[in-house]
Structure 1
Amino acid sequence: MRKKEQSNLIAPSSRRFTLPKSHILRGRRNFERIFGSRNYILTDSINARFVEFDSDPREYKVGFIASKKLGNAIQRSRCKRLLREAYRLNRHLLSEELQRAEKSMHIVFSTRVNGLDFATVENDMVTLLTKLRSRLLSSNKNEL
């Protein structure tokens, strides 16, 4: 077997486009807490529900949901895969601000429409992340 060659494409050192498992939201209690809160932002194709809280170890986790109303398992998996990829490429819009704000946040993204293309999902994801960022900034100003 040959050794794996290093890619010629190197991401800028300041920003890595990764989504580690430690940033994925898991557990029934966490999802119940999010759906119990009334904080949400909508776009044409994606919902974002979130909850902000203060905890000593700063947590920033995301989850991805596709309702059974969207179709069979193949279609739901594709929707979640598109959401994850769009978030992974654009998470820097929100994660850097959360680190500065020293807040903990859990977010769940869910699709509202089936059969979307990646460009639409990515555009809506950027819109959601910028709205979440502005809401986070406004809540920080209110606390000062």
Structure 2
Amino acid sequence: MTKDRSNQSSASNGDFSLPRGKILRGRKNFQRLFEGDVRILRKKHVGLRYHLTDDPSSGCLLGFIVKKSLGDAHKRNHMKRLLREAYRLHQHILTDPLQRIQRTLHGAFMAHTVDASFAEVEHDVTSLLAQVRDQLPTTSPDHS
């Protein structure tokens, strides 16, 4: 039994948070999402910008963006938490096919509003992940 940051006890495999290693970080990585060969998908409350690379080492890295113009800091932070949780629950939709074809996806979920409920955000995130999965190539770069 270990204690996490919230000082609550958790079992060794009971930590269900999204690891930092799966979150897109760094200025250059985000700049690449706003230039060049980037695909953009949109839903009512959430959008997704992403690009694929042939590097199989990092899997799927996603960032979470909420513009300052959408509201106060506490509302933006709440929306980011909703986006992260929806992605964490449904990341398998994308990670399994990416491992099969040995590709890496870098992307960012972008909120269009801060007033959406978790159910609405979760619906948008799952449908965006499914859209990306359906657009993935069927073979790895080595076999094409």
Same fold (TM over 0.5): yes
- Are 1:68 and 1:76, in contact at CA under 8 Å, matched by a contact in 2? yes
| Equivalent position of 2:41 in the other structure | 41
- Are 2:49 and 2:108, in contact at CA under 8 Å, matched by a contact in 1? yes
Identity %: 37
Structure 1 runs, 4 residues or longer, greater than 6 Å off: none
- Are 1:79 and 1:114, in contact at CA under 8 Å, matched by a contact in 2? yes
Which deviates the most, 34-43 or 113-122? 34-43
Instruction: Give the alignment's TM-score, normalised by structure 2.
Output: 0.83
Unaligned runs of 5+ in 2: 4-8
Instruction: Give the alignment's TM-score, normalised by structure 1.
Output: 0.83
- Are 1:26 and 1:63, in contact at CA under 8 Å, matched by a contact in 2? yes
| Equivalent position of 1:117 in the other structure | 117
Counterpart of 1:76, as a letter, is R
Counterpart of 2:138, as a letter, is N
| Equivalent position of 2:22 in the other structure | 23
Pair 102,79 (structure 1): closer, same or farther in 2 beyond 3 Å: same
1:121-132 alignment, distance < 5 Å = 121-132=121-132
Unaligned runs of 5+ in 1: none
Counterpart of 1:49, as a letter, is R
Pair 5,96 (structure 1): closer, same or farther in 2 beyond 3 Å: closer
- Are 2:59 and 2:99, in contact at CA under 8 Å, matched by a contact in 1? no
Alpha-carbon distance, 1:129 to partner: 0.6
Aligned residues: 134
- Are 1:17 and 1:89, in contact at CA under 8 Å, matched by a contact in 2? no
| Equivalent position of 1:140 in the other structure | 138
Residues in 2 aligned to 1:69 and 1:20: alpha-carbon distance in whole angstroms? 28
Alpha-carbon distance, 1:140 to partner: 2.9
Of Structure 1 and Structure 2, which has the larger fraction of its residues in helix? Answer: 1
Residues in 2 aligned to 1:66 and 1:115: alpha-carbon distance in whole angstroms? 12
| Equivalent position of 1:63 in the other structure | 63
